[in-house]
Structures are given as C-alpha cells and as structure tokens.
C-alpha cells in the first residue's frame, strides 16, 4: 500500500530564516505530487504541483519554491520566511493526473 | 463569489443523530466530487469520491450530488463521537493538466456523547 510522509511535523522559525519541508511517497512510482497550505478558515490553497522529476508548476507567486529531486520526493523551500508564511503545509499525491489526491500528515509552521 | 461555499459551522449534534453537511458551487464544469475528513492537527483523509450526479453509500456515509442545483451533501447516519472532525468538500472539472481540486473551507462537526 502507498504511504506518504512529511517532516518535520512542527516547526517554529524566526522571520527571515530559510525553510525546507520534505515529503516522500512510498509504494508507488511516478506519482503526481502537490503542496498545499491550509490557513484557518480559508481552506486549502494549492501552492505547487509536479508531474515528474524536475517538473514544477507554481499556482501562486509568493515567497516559496518547490523542487522534486527524486521521483517520490517533493521539497518546499524558502530563502527568507515571512510572518504570512505561517500555516499548516500539506503534501498530497495522486497516481495519475485524473485520480483523486491523498494527503500526508502535514507540517505546522509558525513564523515568529 | 467563491467557487465553492461551505458553512464553517461549528455543528454540534448528539450521538446517534443524522448529520447533513453541504457545499454549493458555481462552476458547472465540476464533474468529480470528494469529501475529506480532517481530525485536528492531521492531514485530510478521503471519505467519499463520486462522479457526476447521484448517490453513493459507504457504511454510515452517503454522498449526494445534485448538479442541476450545484449542490452536494454528505450524510452521516448514527453519528459517533469519533466522527467529530472538520469535513472538507472538494471538486474538480473533467480534464485539465493539473488535477486541481477546489476545496470548501470545511465544516467543523462535534458529536456529543
């Protein structure tokens, strides 16, 4: 069966510091991968998606970037965090572009 | 106007009650409809997945889609305290390169023992 991992689970970072969140999927090959941010009362906002290694599409221009160095690894990064980057970050995968998405456990990021 | 509207609640019901959760949407191109359950501080978990109009039942859960009214519902029978969570509706159009899901903001449900 497929599993999706995210780490760290929680993170507290000062404004202006860098960020690296990691997501890995097991049990499937060539998944589509997604990064979402969930803010209180605002639902899930799609940030990035990837259909293959090195292929990243951005949905919302912002202070974040994503990379996919390996087939089942997806990384969310920032060079300098802003207060507004605080939130719950979720990684998701789907088997094909038309399949539904399955979410990881999330990373709660607090920027102080 | 948001593409997907969902009453945020909170909705509080006694154990054993029938719960009705709803979403409305504006984009007539939406063809796939999903319900996710999210426990506090956890990732969303897929509950139901339906295509186009009609009903789908899975145990105590029934998903209903009315495309003519642009309205979807999730019914929970014999609700349990373990059903207490936030319920998110999600939907997407047929085709497209991203499989982009549009989510409602979620309804917080509390089932009182």
Nearest neighbour of B106 by CB, restricted to A43, A49, A57: A43
At B11-41, the pLDDT tens digits run 999 999 999 999 999 999 899 999 999 999 9
Q: Average pLDDT in the A2-11 region?
A: 95
pLDDT digits (tens, 9 = 90+) for A26-83: 999 899 999 999 987 678 999 999 999 999 998 886 789 999 999 999 999 999 999 9
Q: A51: nearest CA in chain B?
A: B98
pLDDT at A14 over 90: yes
Mean pLDDT of B61-88: 96
Do the chains contact at B105 and A97, CB–CB below 8 Å?
Answer: no
What residues in A contact B46, CB-CB < 8 Å? 100-102
pLDDT, residue B54, reads 86
Contacts of B42 in chain A (CB under 8 A): 105-106
> Residue B98: which pLDDT band, with cuts at 50, 70 and 90?
low
**Does B104 touch chain A if contact means CB atoms closer than 8 Å?**
yes
What is the reported pLDDT for B97?
Answer: 58
Are the beta carbons of A100 and B100 separated by less than 8 Å? no
d(CA B48, CA B91): 11
Query: Given A42, A59, A103, which is nearest B44 (Cβ)?
Result: A103
Nearest to B42 among A42, A98, A105 (CB): A105
pLDDT of residue B1: 72
**pLDDT for the residue B99:** 67
pLDDT number for residue A97: 63
The DSSP call for residue A95 is S
Query: What's the pLDDT tens digit per position in A79-110?
Result: 999 999 999 999 999 987 667 899 999 999 99
**E-state strands within chain B:** 4-6, 11-14, 19-25, 30-38, 45-51, 54-58, 61-66, 71-76, 85-93, 102-103, 107-112
Calpha distance B105→B103 (Å, rounded): 6
The mean pLDDT value for B47-67 works out to 93
Cβ of B98 within 8 Å of Cβ of A97? The answer is yes
* pLDDT score recorded for residue B7: 85
Cβ of B100 within 8 Å of Cβ of A99? The answer is no
């Amino acid at each position: 069966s497929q599993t999706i991992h995210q780490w760290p689970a929680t993170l507290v970072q000062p404004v202006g510091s860098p960020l690296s969140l990691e997501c890995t999927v097991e049990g499937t090959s060539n998944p589509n991968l997604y990064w979402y941010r969930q803010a209180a009362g605002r639902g899930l906002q799609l940030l990035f998606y990837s259909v293959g290694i090195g292929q990243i599409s951005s949905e919302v221009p912002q202070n974040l970037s994503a990379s996919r160095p390996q087939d089942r690894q997806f990384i969310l990064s920032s060079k300098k965090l802003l207060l507004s980057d605080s939130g719950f970050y979720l990684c998701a995968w789907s088997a094909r572009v038309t399949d539904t998405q399955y979410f990881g456990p999330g990373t709660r990021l607090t920027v102080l | 106007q948001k593409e997907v509207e969902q009453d945020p609640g909170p909705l509080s019901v006694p154990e054993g009650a029938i719960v009705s959760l709803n979403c409305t949407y504006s984009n007539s191109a939406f063809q796939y409809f999903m319900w996710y359950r999210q426990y506090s501080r956890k990732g969303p978990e897929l509950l139901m997945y339906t295509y186009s109009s009609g009903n789908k039942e899975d145990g105590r859960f029934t998903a209903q889609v009315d495309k003519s009214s642009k309205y979807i519902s999730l019914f929970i029978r014999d609700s349990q305290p373990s059903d207490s969570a936030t319920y998110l509706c999600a939907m997407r159009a047929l085709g497209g390169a991203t499989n982009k899901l549009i989510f409602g903001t979620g309804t917080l449900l509390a089932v009182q023992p």
